[in-house]
Amino acid sequence: MNTLKHTFAIALILFTQGITIGQVDTTRVLTEAQREAQSQFGSEELEVIKAFKVKLASASSLDMKPTIESAPPTNRDYNYHISIVPYTIEYAEPTIKPFAMKPDSKKEYYKGYAKLGFGNFLSPLADVSYHNTAGNVEYGILANYLSLDNSNNNIHQKMSDININAHANIKLTDNIELLTNIYSSIDQRYFFHIPENKVSDYTEEGAKRYLNNYGVKVGIKNSSKYALQYNLLIDANYLAITNKNTNEINSDITGRVSYSGKSFGVSLDAKMDFSKGTESIDSSFITLSASPNLFWSNKTFNIRAGASTIIANDDTYIFPVAELLVDVLSDKFQVLAGVDQEYIHNNIRSVTSYNPYYQTQQGDYGATITKSYYGGAQGEWAKLSYRGKIGYREIANQVILLNADDIRKFDLNYIDMNSVFIEATASYSLNDIFTIGGGFQQNIFDLEDGVIAYHLPAMRYNAYTVIHLLDDNLTVRPTLAFTDKVEYINESGSVDKLDPMLSLNASINYRIGDHFGFFVDAKNVLANNYSEYYGYDDVGLHIHGGITLKF
Domain boundaries, the chain: 1-38
**Taking phi first (over 0 means left), then psi (-120 to 50 degrees means alpha), and beta for anything else, what does residue 357 get?**
alpha
Three-state DSSP string of 110-164: CCEEEEEEEECCCEEEEEEEEEEEECCEEEEEEEEEEEEECCCCCCCCEEEEEEE
Residue 213 binned pLDDT confidence (cut-offs 50, 70, 90): very high
Q: Which residues, at least 6 apart from 271, have a Cβ–Cβ distance to it below 8 Å?
A: 252, 253, 254, 255, 287, 288, 289, 290
pLDDT of residue 387: 96
Strand, coil or helix: what is 462? strand
Sign of CA dihedral 455, 185, 462, 423: negative
Which has the closest alpha carbon to 337: 302, 300, 288?
Answer: 302
- From residue 3, give the alpha-carbon distance in Å to each of 6, 8, 16, 219: 5, 9, 20, 99
pLDDT of residue 53: 42
Number of residues that make up the chain: 551
pLDDT of residue 143: 97
DSSP 195-260: -GGGGGG--HHHHEEEEEEEEEEEEEEE-TTSSEEEEEEEEEEEEEETTTTEEEEEEEEEEEEEEE
Q: Average pLDDT of 344-361?
A: 93
pLDDT digits (tens, 9 = 90+) for 420-467: 999 999 999 999 999 999 999 999 999 988 889 999 999 999 999 999
pLDDT digits (tens, 9 = 90+) for 473-499: 999 999 999 999 999 988 788 899 999
Distance of alpha carbon 193 from alpha carbon 409, whole angstroms: 9
Between residues 153 and 76, the one the model is more confident about? 153
pLDDT of residue 244: 73
In eight-state DSSP terms, residue 60 is G
pLDDT digits (tens, 9 = 90+) for 1-54: 444 444 444 444 444 444 443 344 433 344 444 444 444 444 444 344 344 344
pLDDT of residue 504: 96
Q: Which residues, at least 6 apart from 345, have a Cβ–Cβ distance to it below 8 Å?
A: 273, 275, 285, 287, 312, 367
Which has the closest alpha carbon to 508: 449, 456, 464, 466?
Answer: 466
Cut 0.75: pTM above it: yes
